[in-house]
Structure 1
Amino acid sequence: MLNSFLDLTPSAAAFWRRRVYQFSTCAAAYNSQALRDNEAHSEDYETYQRRRKTEWKRRQGGQSFLDHLIINVRGGKGGNGCAAFHREKFLPFGPPSGGNGGRGGDVYILPTPELTTLTSVAKRVRGENGGNGQGTWQNGKNGAPLVIRVPLGTIVREIPRGDPRRTKDEWEAEAEALEGLEPAEKQAKMRDNRWVHYPRYSESNVERDAFKEAEQLLFKQERDRRYARRKREIEHPIYMDLDKEVEVEEDPNLPLGLPRKDALGHLVASGGQGGLGNPHFLSQDNRSPKFATRGHEGERITLSLELKLLADIGLVGIPNAGKSTLLRALTGGRAQTEVAGYAFTTLNPVIGVVRVAADGSFEGGLSEGMVHEETLIEEAQKQTKMEEGAFADALTRNQQAHSDAVTRGFGAGHRFDIIEHFRFTIADNPGLISKASENVGLGHSFLRSMERSLALVYVVDFSSPAPWDEIAILRDELEQYLPGMSNKARMVIANKADLLAADSDTASIEDAKVKLKRLEEYVEKKLTVEDEYGNQRSLDIVPISAKYSQNLKKVVGLMQEYVVEAREESKREREHQS
């Protein structure tokens, strides 16, 4: 090989050296890809697919769940007035008959309990424009109101002037469009934006005294509107906490099919007034007005929407602590959360409803002993498709009973019967990691969803070597994000306790008891807080197995006490404020 290279010219030798290098590079890439394929096939295929899906969602920045959004809202533009004169047989010179323009559509914002994310809200919202006026005194149609639907718990703030995120209002936008023009050209452009002239009378109207008086009055009204807008922005900027549904009383005096304005929600941007037809300018001195006004621009405003989910109980834990499995077990499989054996399975907050009977039993408790694990669902589904042929459905009684029980346990069309006495909601929040309060990853999004819960519950992996270290991380992240937020914590759930007592070995059971005792001592020493009345309050500790639905009745009973106490306290505060 060396001799063959020596026989080549320098250029040919350089060519073959490049080809050898390219070949070696391709071979290395092929080997690395083969290694990745072997790693993928070494683990369960379904788990590998779910892991890839989770990583893809994280790379997308959590677009499936949106809890903070800046939107530009513009009310509809009013329709133009019409400059026309009535004409009919034997009446060649009738009176002015131009109709007024319709009013632009208003924009409302309405809290909707069915929504859980801001993904459906457009970043640019514009109300419907009003219709133009026409001859024979026909007024234009008013623009229909536009409703922005947002989830309950959304906080709406108006972005003030000077903020670079704020869009320009209608007057600032016009000034920007006229920038750089000569004074005469600028004046002509401003008149075109405000006036409608009868055909071939635009130049003569400008010279008339009646038009000059109307123009001065129009600019004065516009200046007053601009001053009122600035005053409202300074003294009463928009701030709404949409934590309740809009309550509307039926009005029997309204025509059928006409909704009350209250039912549309809260007004955020008013539509522009319609233009005036030429009959409006009829006077003793001006018997034939040949001009009308254009519609006003709708109000422009920039809003910041911040979603803070409303849930009675918020589950707080590190990734893969078993929060999603716990929520499934508490709700009887109604909450369709993602369950898998790797971290960051839950990317979006999920809210489930716990229904409790008068005797303390709850819907999920009816499935006690059932295994809440994702792989069992897949096995039950695959079991029915195991064979193709005459004996495909010929399962044994035990196989069929096991398959039905697993499917029912995860809410696949089955609903447990229970006489509901009390209900509360639980939020399964994505796992917290260290430095989440510094907005590492989607830390602020995770923490924001917990901020408005009435009570927080720590969920730790009791099978880990040091579950108290997990509690320390969770508490520090809550405090760094919002001081005092960790005081909402009321309980520590030591999940996966079944793993420590999996064997009947007496030594392992004793080790589990010692570990639980140490966890209780840590909680009593580090997490005891003082309420507003000066009383010392320690957190409850409950070891459970969410996978097998063990010891959950005590968890539900304590959670119910927390919710009742928090609701009564909130009611007393509202009565005191009123």
Structure 2
Amino acid sequence: MRTFIDIAKIRVKAGDGGDGCVSFRREKYVPKGGPDGGDGGKGGDVILRVDPNMRTLIDYQYKRHFKAERGEHGKGANRHGKNGKDTIIPVPPGTVVYKIIDPNLTGENLKDSRNLEFIGELLEGELVVARGGEGGLGNARFKSSTRQSPRFATQGKKGEELSILLELKLIADVGIVGLPNVGKSTLLSKLSQATPKIAAYPFTTLEPNLGWVPIGENSGFTIADMPGIIEGAHKGKGLGLEFLRHIERTRVLLFLLDATSESPKQELQLLRQEIKEYNPYILQKEQIIAVNKIDLVTGAKLKKIKSELDEPLFFISALENKGLRKLKKALIELFVRQRWKEKSPSSI
């Protein structure tokens, strides 16, 4: 099973500029022609470009070096060298880009904030991460009234070269958050147009699955099931740490609890605590709480859960399609309300 790759280290080298040319006009009836050396071409850039169809950075676990084309050298007869071709590196939406100050560091030392310099964030479009060198000047550029036959040209400049760290932060309107094997993938498949891998064992979800919930013909929102969070996730235990960063980009947190567990209340407390330890700001987002697997417990157990949590709850069975219509309606209403706020003049 392929694991989700959300961090990659790559080395990029922009193209060097071509050298300027030293040349003189030589024609049958022009024995003493002047300088006609052309300029060198500019080196190609290295560009990161968002590919909306990409979901992970796994490709860059295998290919880690990228080099743009160098510019051609200038030629005689005032012919300039061609510019080098740019190298385009596709990345998923939500990729954050850092310059690595010391590329010799590895592991956790590599990701130390003191070793990283923020370059940019890509939600769409493209970003130049290494610029090609300028081309050198041909000797025709140096002709003057006091220097009729310059016998020199300048060399092209070197293209930029650096190591960069790519970090993917998933973008979704709603993030389903829960412990392993609570039914997140099943819920996603029932609420949206998605077919995630589903099995009855923990950590089936090794990469976030994205689904689309349509609202009418021309609107809708994205929903993602995050891999299960366990106690100590913010310290790197389980799969949680690698995916907590994705929750930062969601607008709404959909906490999914297991009605069959000994204490759904403790589940919710654990989930909130792990998120708080990672980034307390995330808990300021809108939250919806759903209790799954109600088909497997008694009515008395559901009453106990309701009294213990003392928060607005949606009781559902994703497997049996119980309570899903009400939950989906609440998500749609919340999404529409948030979009309205974002577009209102007071939010600008």
Give TM-score scaled by structure 2 length.
0.87
Pick the structure with greater CA Rg: 1
The reply on whether 1:548 has 2:329 as its aligned counterpart is: no
Q: Shift of residue 449 of structure 1?
A: 1.5
In the alignment, which residue of structure 2 is the partner of 1:344? 203
Q: Quote how far apart the aligned CAs of 1:499 are.
A: 1.9
Instruction: Output one character per residue of 1:244-281: Cα deviation in whole Å (capped at 9) or x when no partner.
Output: x34xxxxxxxxxxxxxxxxxx33333211101112122
CA deviation profile, 1:174-226 (whole Å, cap 9, x unmatched): xxxxxxxxxxxxxxxxxxxxxxxxxxxxxxxxxxxxxxxxxxxxxxxxxxxxx
1:471 alignment counterpart: 268
Partner of 1:125: 66
**Counterpart residue number, 1:408:** none
Aligned to 1:142: 83
Aligned to 1:164, which of 99, 102, 105? 102
CA distance in 2, matches of 1:98, 1:326: 69
- Given the alignment of the two structures, is residue 567 of structure 1 paired with residue 339 of structure 2, yes or no? yes
Deviations 1:50-85 (A, max 9, x none): xxx4xxx5xxxx3xx222233333322111111122
What does residue range 80-99 of structure 1 map to in structure 2 within 5 Å? 80-99=19-38
Q: CA offset at residue 422 of structure 1? A: 4.2
Which structure is higher in helix share? Answer: 1
Quickly say closer, same or farther: Cα 1:466–1:441, change in 2 above 3 A: closer
> Which of 254, 274, 280 does residue 457 from structure 1 map onto?
254
Equivalents in 2 of 1:242, 1:166: separation in Å? 26
Equivalent residue for 1:106, pick from 37, 45, 67: 45
Question: Which amino acid is the alignment partner of residue 87 of structure 1?
Answer: R
The letter for the 1-side match of 2:35 is P
- Paired residue for 1:289? 150
Does the CA contact (< 8 Å) of 2:47 and 2:128 recur in 1? yes
Amino acid of the residue matched to residue 247 of structure 2? M
Q: Deviations over 1:97-143 (max 9, x none)?
A: 22110011123333332222223455333222111111222110012
Contact kept, 8 Å, 1:166 with 1:302, in 2: the verdict is no
Deviation at 1:456, TM superposition (A): 0.6
Contact map agreement 1:157 1:304 (CA 8 A) in 2: yes
Change (3 A) 1:577 1:554: closer
Q: What do the CA deviations read for 1:158-182 (whole angstroms, capped 9, x no partner)?
A: 44xxx42389xxxxxxxxxxxxxxx
Secondary structure of the structure 1 residue equivalent to 2:158 = coil
Higher strand residue share: 2
Q: Tell me the TM-score normalized by structure 1.
A: 0.54
Partners of 1:577 and 1:123 in 2: CA distance: 42
Q: Give the AA of the match of 1:240.
A: G
Q: Which amino acid aligns with 2:305?
A: L
Aligned equivalent of 1:399: none
Instruction: State whether structure 2 residue 333 is matched by structure 1 residue 515.
Output: no
Alpha-carbon distance, 1:576 to partner: 5.5
Separation of aligned partners in 2, 1:133 and 1:513: 83
For residues 515 and 492 of structure 1, what CA distance do their matches in structure 2 show?
17
Identify the residue that residue 355 of structure 1 maps to in structure 2. 214
Post-superposition Cα deviations, 1:525-554, rounded to whole Å, max 9, x if no partner, equal xxxxxxxxxxxxx4x311211112222110
SS in 1 for 2:189: helix
- The one-letter code matched in structure 2 to 1:335 is A
1:300 Cα shift?
3.1
The alignment's C-alpha RMSD in Å is 2.4
Change (3 A) 1:131 1:155: same
Aligned counterparts, 1:12-91, within 5 A:
53=1, 62=3, 65-91=4-30
User: 1:329 corresponds to which residue?
Assistant: 190
1:488 and 2:285 are equivalent in the alignment: yes
Residue deviations 1:493-530 (CA, integer Å, cap 9, x gap): 21111122xxxxxxxxxxx2222222223322xxxxxx
2:110 is matched with none
Q: What secondary structure sits across from 2:247 in the alignment? A: coil
Q: Report the AA paired with residue 334 of structure 2.
A: Y
Amino acid at match of 1:456: L
Question: For residues 346 and 45 of structure 2, what CA distance do their matches in structure 1 show?
Answer: 36
C-alpha separation in 2, matches of 1:326 and 1:479: 25
Q: Separation in 1 of the partners of 2:95 and 2:87?
A: 18
CA contact (8 A) 1:97 1:278 kept: yes
C-alpha distance 421-150 of structure 1, shift in aligned 2 (>3 A):
closer
- Rounded to whole Å, the distance in 1 between the matches of 2:347 and 2:308 is 39
Counterpart of 1:241 (choices 108, 121, 130) is: 121
- In the alignment, structure 2 segments of 5+ residues that lack a partner are 106-116
User: Is the contact made by 1:458 and 1:489 (CA closer than 8 Å) also made in structure 2?
Assistant: no
Work out the CA distance in 1 between the residues paired with 2:340 and 2:99.
32
Cα separation, 2, equivalents of 1:164 and 1:104? 25
Question: Residues of 2 paired with 1:320 and 1:147: CA distance?
Answer: 40
Kindly tell me the number of residue pairs found equivalent between the two proteins: 335
Aligned to 2:140: 279
* Contact map agreement 1:356 1:422 (CA 8 A) in 2: yes
Identity of matched residues, %: 41
Q: How far off its partner does 1:459 sit? A: 1.2
Counterpart Cα distance in 2 of 1:442 and 1:497: 27
